[in-house]
Chain A
């Protein structure tokens, strides 16, 4: 018998586990999930602010500093395997 350490496609817990992982990761990067809209993540840093909107494995990012967003993009790519 296989004891799963990671989730597998088709399990009931899989979507939840993914949200847990991505939200934890974004929090680690300084993003705060909105209380009333948990798929919206916001980061404020002085005059800089960023918004990440999550749609399962797809996301759009906007903000007023390009280098910061590109940094997040790179980090996501190396830590979570993403493609833009």
Chain B
């Protein structure tokens, strides 16, 4: 399957891009090596921001192939000629390095995302509300489970954005 390329910079300018400045302690090598296991965010800037930046890199190349295979397996889309009156939603690649607790690289992850901020309510989509449990309800279920001496199971679904 052919990989969709990112749209040109015409749409990029619609959205303000922020510059990320790290706090001083996150630039301190000593601090990083001592406390790396507590970090949730990236501690360095190895993640490319655009398709152009990574093009030549083998790890990202493989990561994108993986994502494409998953999308293909899921039968995410079919290729159609563009109807006259529609404005397609553009897409882009997002690159993420998954790290282990000690900060070493676990895997390179590339995800193809839709740039949904161009969608308009009523025109491109209708309802978007999705009910989610409040934390207080989670605690209530946990409490009831304990009170009644029941067993509890926890599970997580993957690839949920490929739903329906």
Contact = CB atoms under 8 A, between A and B. Distances in A.
Interface of A: 1-22, 37-40, 51, 53-64, 66, 69-70, 73, 76-77, 80-84
Contacts, number: 170
B150 A81 contact: no
Nearest to A60: B154
A11 B112 CA distance: 11
A22 B160 CA distance: 9
Interface residues of B, number: 52
Interface of B: 4, 74-82, 88-89, 91, 111-116, 119, 121, 124-125, 127-133, 137-138, 141-142, 144-145, 148, 150-164
Candidate in A13, A17, A77, A82 with the most chain B CB atoms within 10 angstroms: A13
Given A11-B116, A39-B132, A84 B153 contact: yes
